[in-house]
Amino acid sequence: MDLTELNRIATAMVVSGKGILAADESSGTIKKRFDAIGVESTEENRRDYREMLFRSKDAMSQYISGVILYDETIWQDARDGTPLIRLIEQSGAIPGIKVDEGTQALPMCPGELVTIGLDKLAERLKKYHERGARFAKWRAVIDIGSGIPSTTAISVNAHALARYAALCQAAQIVPIVEPEVLMDGDHDIDRCYEVTSRVLNKTFEELRVQRVALEGMVLKPNMAISGKKCAKQASVEEVAEKTIRLLKACVPAAVPGIAFLSGGQSDEEATAHLNAMHRLGALPWGLTFSYGRALQAAPQKAWSGKAENIAAGQRAFSHRARMNGLASKGEWQSSLEQKAA
């Protein structure tokens, strides 16, 4: 393992002013997104949509540091025969790959899930590295509800995350470690804070046990935020303050950077929260975004599967990428959104 190179890549992934595009939706997830805009989810349409994003030169070169791909996409070629992964490289961004295989019910733990995909992961990582992937992503899902999450669910998912991360580093691939505490419930921000603290502490305990080099990884956590169904939604300032307090308490300074997931927040909410965090002062690690829906909802709607809308889709993507790039430096203002509209 070349830790110097892993650290170089991880640091580049969280460089100030840029963030990671999560374009790794599974076939099922992107079908839901396409259904919403009236587009059939064929292999060709999925290719065309992602090619549109990767050819958005301004966005990709100025505001995107890396792209997380789905297995289908990493092997696809653009309409002119150029591998999609080469379009990402040509923009100056780093190609990455989602390697988990989704979730299944966790035995003896009703209502809880465990992420699968460790079997034969070493062989898959070797092929992905040969194709050009330099980082990977694995998502663990922790739900908050009555009597959950259990210690079992937290422990099992943290163990799997650490095993995945160790396999990645052995394959000379930077692991994005993503323990996501869902915001779907009616819990308040303090309950989210408490559960996320438990999850992060257990995850870093497992990473140390399994000898993962913290200098060669990126953390992709949720923010401390109210559940969607909570009657009292925390303010932007409270989300920023509590999230930074949480991360400083749980994330070692050896980690090069943190790239937030949006987790169901609206486009502007995700941007505003990141921006507010950067206004709280110096941080021990790079802090940026790794958004999927919060970067893609607008361009998907603008594109709507029509070739004549490609330029409009690229403009929408460039705008959201720019807004989040500014937020990752604490330079975003809501008035910039109004001007664009």
Instruction: For residue 133, give the 3-state DSSP assignment.
Output: coil
Q: Are strands 103-105 and 113-115 parallel, antiparallel or unpaired?
A: antiparallel
Would you call the peptide bond into 256 cis, given omega within 30 degrees of 0 as the criterion? no
Nearest to 178 by CA among 62, 95, 259: 259
**Active site residue: 25, 178, 180, 206, which one?**
178
Tell me the two tokens of residue 333.
């203002």
Enumerate residues 6+ apart whose C-beta is below 8 A from 69: 23, 24, 84, 85, 95, 96, 97, 98, 133
Positive or negative torsion for Cα 180, 185, 188, 194: negative
Angle at 315 between CA 61 and CA 329, to 5 degrees: 50
Cβ-contact 298, 324 below 8 angstroms: no
Which one, of 95, 41, 103, lies nearest residue 68 by Cα?
A: 95
Query: Is there a catalytic annotation at residue 220?
Result: yes
Active-site choice (18, 98, 137, 220): 220
248 given a catalytic annotation = no
Q: Is 54 exposed, middle or buried (0-12, 13-18, 19+ CB in 10 A)?
A: buried
Is residue 247 within 8 A of residue 277, CB to CB? The reply is no
Q: Which residues are catalytic?
A: 178, 220
